[in-house]
Amino acid sequence: MLRASSRLVTVTQAHLRPTTTTRLLSASTRRAMYPDVVPYKTGNLKIPDSIHTLYYELSGNPDGSPVVFLHGGPGGGCVYDSGHQDASFFNPKKYNIILHDQRGSGKSTPTASLEENTTWDLVKDIERLREHLGIQKWHVFGGSWGSTLSLAYAQSHPDRVRSLILRGIFTLRKRFLISSTPDEAPTNRSTYSELDFFYQNGTSHLFPEAWDEYISIIPEPERHDMLTAYHAQLNAVDDETRITAAKAWTKWEMATSRLYVDPEYLARADGDDFANAFARIENHYFVNDGFMRDGQLLEPQEIDKIRHIPCIVVQGRYDVVCPATTAYQLKKAWPEITLHIVPDAGHSTREKGIEELLIKATDQFADLEM
């Protein structure tokens, strides 16, 4: 039986059997974000034979352990704002911190472009950036879509990854078994879709007021398939339709990402440029199933490629964007990882318990021999 904790559940190999263990995260062990840093280098990496140019920046210790931060979305871009920097998850004295905006995101150009924009384009970009910077091996940190991309990159280039620190696991599975008994007919088995849960038939029951706003711009006959309906509006010819849809799409995710909605966080959805890139690129990937085989990232032969890599996963118990079932499925497929489930957190990296554990993870891996 699982013993309840107000702060932290650490899922171990024992959790895959009847017995479980629990650890407390005491006040004395909590970590604050590291202070804002000023990058020592910024640059723009032109992708050969492509329309895309990637913005990147380096901060911290040039001689420290390299770590690459992979942002969410896709389309979210990195956060460089004072007091909210993505670089602040890392000790600047020990890490050489690399941030970059993925294709069409943030400061990369062209903004919101869907052309030549797939998961495998992004994986190639990460490797191209590593080579450009002359880095042999690096730590990889990613949450939400960033966890998807981290797994895809690590499985493509396992010899270049020293460790993985992941949050809010997301694998875009369309349909998979979550419970069954040996004598149960396949048609009666309980199945689950990661995308349907958030965009169609799951989170809507927990945030009905936000859901009403999200569906309000979609004609009622089209609401049975919100991804497809939004795809049409996000790619409309006229700017007004496209931007209205982009803001509604973005607001839905911002309104559901935290246990307690932060008005400042929600206000990000009002920015035309951010919402346009975030919504169009996310939707583009999701209607194309992430450009992956269904369940690819959890396939045994793919997990075997990265089984040797140290990995810490931090997951909010009440994450309704990327529910904990996927992190648990990753733990079952890859028992060697450490999985922390934070019982009083939702999806966002900035949920207090999640933030603290991510920093503890980066501290733990900072001194690994490269």
Q: Please, are residues 59 and 87 in contact by the beta-carbon 8 Å criterion?
A: yes
φ and ψ of 111, to 5 deg: -60, 135
* Mean pLDDT within 3-10: 50
| CA-wise closest residue to 193 among 117, 283, 286 | 286
Number of Cβ within a 10 Å radius of residue 28? 5
Exposed/middle/buried for 164, CB within 10 Å: 0-12, 13-18, 19+?
buried
Q: Where are the domains of the chain?
A: 29-173+292-365, 184-291
The string over 213-240, giving b where at least 16 C-beta atoms fall within 10 Å of a residue's C-beta and e elsewhere, is ebbeebeeeeeeebeebbbebbeeeeee
φ and ψ of 122, to 5 deg: -70, -40
- Tell me, which fold does domain 29-173+292-365 have in CATH? Rossmann fold (3.40.50)
Q: At 356, is the pLDDT very low, low, confident or very high (cuts 50, 70, 90)?
A: very high
Give per-residue pLDDT as tens, 149-195.
999 999 999 999 999 999 999 999 987 555 444 444 444 445 679 99
Residues labelled catalytic = 144, 319, 347
Give per-residue pLDDT as tens, 205-230.
999 999 999 999 999 999 999 999 99
* Torsion of the alpha carbons at 324, 358, 170 and 301, rounded to the nearest 10: -100
Q: At 261, is the pLDDT very low, low, confident or very high (cuts 50, 70, 90)?
A: confident
- pTM reported for the whole predicted model: 0.91
DSSP structure string for 223-249: TT-HHHHHHHHHT-SSHHHHHHHHHHH
